[in-house]
Amino acid sequence: MPSTNRPTALTLYSAVACNYSQRTRIALALKGTKVDVVEVDLLDRPAAFMATPARGTVPALEWDGGFVYGSSTLNEFIDEQWPDPPLLPGDILQRADARSWVSLKMHRPRSPEADIGSANRGESR
């Protein structure tokens, strides 16, 4: 159930080159959640961001009194705070497939096997 103390004035620390950040940005975009994005230079992280609980790792979401980081945790948090539309399908097998695909893309974002697998299933991913 979403918190009754719903976060407002959200700031997302993110990096364009970071697939974990993109994962969280996609979730926020799907939910239509308004967020200020701070683009973090991964080669020169601001000292103030290094001093946060995320210790300079993107993605991280901050709001008044709250800080969440780690793309899996973040996307679970986002899905719980803004349940509609859900991030995952209702069907158990489709949910497993979606989770497998996300896991593959997180660990091997440009995996040729992933693209071949999708093509074999007649999918365009």
What are the catalytic residues? Answer: 18
Contact between residue 18 and residue 42 where contact means Cβ atoms under 8 Å apart: yes
Any contact of residue 78 with ligand GSH (CB under 6 A)? no
Any contact of residue 56 with ligand GSH (CB under 6 A)? yes
Considering the complex, what minimum distance in angstroms separates the CB of residue 122 from ligand GSH?
Answer: 30
Asked, as a colleague might, if the bond just before 86 is cis with ω within 30 of 0, I would say no
Indicate the length of the chain as a whole number.
125
Other Cβ atoms within 10 Å of 22 Cβ, number: 17
Given the complex with ligand GSH, which of 1 and 47 has the nearer CB atom? Answer: 47
Q: Applying CB under 6 A, which of residues 57, 61, 75, 77 lies at the interface with ligand GSH?
A: 57
Given the complex with ligand GSH, which of 41 and 123 has the nearer CB atom? Answer: 41
- The rounded distance, in Å, linking the Cα atoms of 74 and 120 is 32
Any contact of residue 72 with ligand GSH (CB under 6 A)? yes
